[in-house]
Amino acid sequence: MSISANLSHIHQQIQQISKQYQRDNVRLLAVSKTKPVEAIQAAIEAGQRAFGENYVQEAVEKIEFFANRPELEWHFIGPLQSNKTKLVATHFDWIQTVDRLKIAERLNEQRPVDKAPLNVLIQINISDEESKSGIEPDEMLPLAQAISQLPNLKLRGLMAIPKPESEPEQQKIALRKMQQLFNRLQAGFDGIDTLSMGMSDDMAAAIECGSTMVRIGTAIFGARA
Protein backbone atom coordinates (compact mmCIF):
# COMPACT_ATOMS: atom_id res chain seq x y z
CA MET A 1 0.00 0.00 0.00
CA SER A 2 1.10 3.58 -0.61
CA ILE A 3 1.96 6.08 2.12
CA SER A 4 -1.22 7.97 1.21
CA ALA A 5 -3.33 4.83 1.60
CA ASN A 6 -1.59 3.96 4.88
CA LEU A 7 -2.31 7.43 6.28
CA SER A 8 -5.94 7.21 5.22
CA HIS A 9 -6.27 3.81 6.92
CA ILE A 10 -4.71 5.08 10.17
CA HIS A 11 -6.93 8.17 10.21
CA GLN A 12 -9.97 5.90 9.81
CA GLN A 13 -8.75 3.78 12.74
CA ILE A 14 -8.20 6.86 14.91
CA GLN A 15 -11.68 8.16 14.05
CA GLN A 16 -13.33 4.82 14.83
CA ILE A 17 -11.52 4.41 18.17
CA SER A 18 -12.12 8.07 19.08
CA LYS A 19 -15.82 7.73 18.35
CA GLN A 20 -16.02 4.58 20.46
CA TYR A 21 -14.55 6.41 23.48
CA GLN A 22 -16.13 9.81 22.72
CA ARG A 23 -12.80 11.49 22.03
CA ASP A 24 -12.42 14.28 19.48
CA ASN A 25 -8.91 15.63 19.97
CA VAL A 26 -6.49 12.88 18.89
CA ARG A 27 -3.70 13.97 16.55
CA LEU A 28 -1.42 11.78 14.45
CA LEU A 29 2.34 12.31 14.64
CA ALA A 30 4.06 10.61 11.70
CA VAL A 31 7.37 9.21 12.93
CA SER A 32 9.68 9.83 9.99
CA LYS A 33 13.06 8.94 11.55
CA THR A 34 15.39 7.14 9.10
CA LYS A 35 12.92 7.84 6.27
CA PRO A 36 14.01 9.75 3.15
CA VAL A 37 12.60 13.14 2.19
CA GLU A 38 10.69 11.48 -0.66
CA ALA A 39 8.64 9.50 1.86
CA ILE A 40 7.94 12.63 3.91
CA GLN A 41 6.96 14.45 0.71
CA ALA A 42 4.44 11.70 -0.06
CA ALA A 43 2.98 12.07 3.44
CA ILE A 44 2.77 15.86 3.05
CA GLU A 45 0.94 15.44 -0.26
CA ALA A 46 -1.51 13.15 1.57
CA GLY A 47 -2.21 15.92 4.09
CA GLN A 48 0.13 15.04 6.98
CA ARG A 49 1.68 18.06 8.70
CA ALA A 50 3.28 16.86 11.98
CA PHE A 51 6.44 14.75 11.89
CA GLY A 52 8.53 13.14 14.65
CA GLU A 53 12.29 12.68 14.45
CA ASN A 54 14.77 10.92 16.79
CA TYR A 55 18.17 11.85 15.40
CA VAL A 56 19.11 15.52 15.53
CA GLN A 57 21.51 15.80 12.59
CA GLU A 58 19.33 13.77 10.21
CA ALA A 59 16.26 15.73 11.28
CA VAL A 60 17.84 19.15 10.75
CA GLU A 61 18.68 18.20 7.15
CA LYS A 62 15.04 17.28 6.56
CA ILE A 63 13.71 20.42 8.26
CA GLU A 64 15.99 22.56 6.11
CA PHE A 65 14.95 20.64 2.98
CA PHE A 66 11.30 21.52 3.73
CA ALA A 67 12.06 25.08 4.88
CA ASN A 68 9.59 26.44 2.28
CA ARG A 69 6.75 24.61 4.08
CA PRO A 70 6.24 26.70 7.24
CA GLU A 71 2.97 24.90 8.02
CA LEU A 72 4.88 21.71 8.87
CA GLU A 73 5.39 20.91 12.56
CA TRP A 74 8.56 19.15 13.66
CA HIS A 75 8.70 17.20 16.93
CA PHE A 76 11.91 15.90 18.50
CA ILE A 77 11.04 12.56 20.10
CA GLY A 78 14.44 11.02 20.90
CA PRO A 79 16.73 11.27 23.92
CA LEU A 80 18.61 14.57 23.81
CA GLN A 81 22.23 15.12 24.85
CA SER A 82 23.39 18.52 26.11
CA ASN A 83 25.66 19.09 23.10
CA LYS A 84 22.69 18.86 20.70
CA THR A 85 20.27 21.21 22.47
CA LYS A 86 21.09 24.22 20.28
CA LEU A 87 20.09 22.39 17.10
CA VAL A 88 16.77 21.34 18.64
CA ALA A 89 16.14 24.82 20.07
CA THR A 90 16.86 26.38 16.69
CA HIS A 91 15.02 24.07 14.32
CA PHE A 92 12.17 22.23 16.06
CA ASP A 93 8.66 23.31 17.05
CA TRP A 94 8.24 20.70 19.80
CA ILE A 95 10.40 18.52 22.02
CA GLN A 96 8.63 15.58 23.66
CA THR A 97 11.49 14.14 25.69
CA VAL A 98 12.52 16.68 28.34
CA ASP A 99 13.54 14.80 31.49
CA ARG A 100 16.13 17.11 33.09
CA LEU A 101 16.02 20.75 34.11
CA LYS A 102 19.52 21.26 32.68
CA ILE A 103 18.25 20.34 29.21
CA ALA A 104 15.22 22.62 29.58
CA GLU A 105 17.41 25.53 30.67
CA ARG A 106 19.74 25.08 27.71
CA LEU A 107 16.79 24.91 25.29
CA ASN A 108 15.36 28.07 26.85
CA GLU A 109 18.68 29.95 26.50
CA GLN A 110 19.25 28.78 22.94
CA ARG A 111 15.74 29.33 21.51
CA PRO A 112 16.01 32.07 18.84
CA VAL A 113 14.24 35.29 19.87
CA ASP A 114 12.38 35.50 16.55
CA LYS A 115 10.68 32.12 17.11
CA ALA A 116 7.64 31.24 19.17
CA PRO A 117 8.38 29.46 22.47
CA LEU A 118 9.42 25.84 22.03
CA ASN A 119 6.57 23.47 22.94
CA VAL A 120 7.70 21.01 25.62
CA LEU A 121 6.46 17.65 26.85
CA ILE A 122 7.96 16.04 29.93
CA GLN A 123 8.88 12.40 29.37
CA ILE A 124 7.77 10.03 32.13
CA ASN A 125 9.43 6.61 32.54
CA ILE A 126 6.05 5.11 33.43
CA SER A 127 7.11 1.45 33.32
CA ASP A 128 10.29 2.10 35.35
CA GLU A 129 12.59 0.60 32.72
CA GLU A 130 16.34 1.12 33.12
CA SER A 131 16.78 1.27 29.34
CA LYS A 132 14.30 4.14 28.91
CA SER A 133 14.68 7.87 29.36
CA GLY A 134 12.20 9.85 31.41
CA ILE A 135 11.63 10.92 34.99
CA GLU A 136 9.90 9.14 37.84
CA PRO A 137 6.24 10.14 38.24
CA ASP A 138 6.89 11.87 41.58
CA GLU A 139 9.43 14.17 39.91
CA MET A 140 6.84 15.55 37.47
CA LEU A 141 5.45 18.52 39.39
CA PRO A 142 8.81 20.02 40.47
CA LEU A 143 10.15 19.78 36.90
CA ALA A 144 6.92 21.21 35.47
CA GLN A 145 7.11 24.11 37.93
CA ALA A 146 10.68 24.89 36.88
CA ILE A 147 9.91 24.64 33.14
CA SER A 148 6.87 26.89 33.51
CA GLN A 149 9.21 29.70 34.66
CA LEU A 150 11.32 29.57 31.47
CA PRO A 151 10.01 32.23 29.04
CA ASN A 152 11.17 30.63 25.78
CA LEU A 153 9.56 27.26 26.53
CA LYS A 154 5.86 26.42 26.63
CA LEU A 155 4.91 23.41 28.74
CA ARG A 156 2.17 21.49 26.91
CA GLY A 157 1.98 18.10 28.66
CA LEU A 158 3.48 14.64 28.97
CA MET A 159 4.94 11.87 26.84
CA ALA A 160 5.62 8.21 27.61
CA ILE A 161 6.82 5.02 25.95
CA PRO A 162 5.29 2.27 28.12
CA LYS A 163 6.81 -1.21 28.18
CA PRO A 164 5.42 -3.27 25.28
CA GLU A 165 2.53 -5.52 26.31
CA SER A 166 0.56 -7.74 23.94
CA GLU A 167 -2.72 -7.71 25.87
CA PRO A 168 -4.81 -4.50 25.92
CA GLU A 169 -5.66 -4.89 29.60
CA GLN A 170 -1.94 -5.07 30.43
CA GLN A 171 -1.24 -2.07 28.18
CA LYS A 172 -3.84 -0.02 30.03
CA ILE A 173 -2.14 -0.34 33.44
CA ALA A 174 0.69 2.04 32.50
CA LEU A 175 -1.52 4.14 30.22
CA ARG A 176 -4.03 4.77 33.02
CA LYS A 177 -1.18 5.90 35.30
CA MET A 178 -0.19 8.39 32.61
CA GLN A 179 -3.77 9.61 32.35
CA GLN A 180 -3.82 10.29 36.10
CA LEU A 181 -0.51 12.17 35.94
CA PHE A 182 -1.78 14.22 33.01
CA ASN A 183 -4.95 15.15 34.92
CA ARG A 184 -2.79 16.23 37.86
CA LEU A 185 -0.61 18.36 35.58
CA GLN A 186 -3.67 19.97 33.98
CA ALA A 187 -5.04 20.84 37.42
CA GLY A 188 -1.83 22.66 38.37
CA PHE A 189 -0.81 24.47 35.19
CA ASP A 190 -2.42 26.44 32.36
CA GLY A 191 -2.15 25.40 28.72
CA ILE A 192 -1.68 21.66 29.33
CA ASP A 193 -3.35 19.96 26.37
CA THR A 194 -1.09 17.18 25.05
CA LEU A 195 -0.67 13.59 26.25
CA SER A 196 1.59 11.85 23.74
CA MET A 197 1.34 8.08 24.08
CA GLY A 198 0.37 5.18 21.87
CA MET A 199 2.11 3.60 18.89
CA SER A 200 0.97 1.04 16.36
CA ASP A 201 0.58 -1.81 18.87
CA ASP A 202 -1.17 0.07 21.68
CA MET A 203 -2.94 2.89 19.85
CA ALA A 204 -6.46 1.79 20.74
CA ALA A 205 -5.67 1.38 24.45
CA ALA A 206 -3.82 4.72 24.49
CA ILE A 207 -6.76 6.61 22.97
CA GLU A 208 -9.12 4.95 25.43
CA CYS A 209 -6.82 6.15 28.24
CA GLY A 210 -6.79 9.77 27.13
CA SER A 211 -3.95 10.10 24.62
CA THR A 212 -4.23 13.24 22.49
CA MET A 213 -1.33 12.34 20.18
CA VAL A 214 -0.35 8.93 18.81
CA ARG A 215 3.10 8.37 17.29
CA ILE A 216 3.00 6.08 14.25
CA GLY A 217 5.95 5.23 11.99
CA THR A 218 6.11 1.78 10.41
CA ALA A 219 2.38 1.61 9.66
CA ILE A 220 2.74 4.79 7.59
CA PHE A 221 6.17 4.48 5.99
CA GLY A 222 6.83 0.74 6.07
CA ALA A 223 9.57 -1.14 7.90
CA ARG A 224 12.82 0.62 8.71
CA ALA A 225 15.49 0.47 6.03
Q: pLDDT tens-digit profile of 28-67?
A: 999 999 999 999 999 999 999 999 999 999 999 999 999 9
Question: What is the structure's pLDDT at 131?
Answer: 79
Per domain, the residue ranges of the chain are: 3-216
pLDDT in tens, 69-104: 999 999 999 999 999 999 999 999 999 999 999 999
Evaluate if residue 224 carries a pLDDT over 70.
no
pLDDT digits (tens, 9 = 90+) for 133-189: 899 999 999 999 999 999 999 999 999 999 999 998 999 999 999 999 999 999 999
Query: For position 152, what pLDDT does the model report?
Result: 98
Taking alpha carbons only, the member of 3, 28, 4 closest to residue 14 is 28
Predicted TM-score (pTM) of this structure:
0.96
What confidence score (pLDDT) does residue 207 get?
Answer: 98
For residue range 120-148, what is the model confidence (pLDDT) as tens digits?
Answer: 999 999 988 787 889 999 999 999 999 99
Average pLDDT over every residue of 8-21: 97
Q: Write the secondary structure of the chain as one string of H (helix), E (strand) and C (coil).
A: CCHHHHHHHHHHHHHHHHHHCCCCCCEEEEECCCCCHHHHHHHHHCCCCEEEECCHHHHHHHHHHCCCCCCCEEEECCCCCHHHHHHHHHHCCEEEEECCHHHHHHHHHHCCCCCCCEEEEEEECCCCCCCCCCECHHHHHHHHHHHHCCCCEEEEEEEECCCCCCCHHHHHHHHHHHHHHHHHHHHHCCCCCEEECCCCCCHHHHHHCCCCEEEECHHHHCCCC
| 41 in Cβ contact with 72 (< 8 Å) | no
CATH ID of 3-216, from 3.20.20.140, 3.20.20.70, 3.20.20.10, 3.40.50.10800: 3.20.20.10
pLDDT score at 165 = 93
pLDDT digits (tens, 9 = 90+) for 193-208: 999 999 999 999 999 9
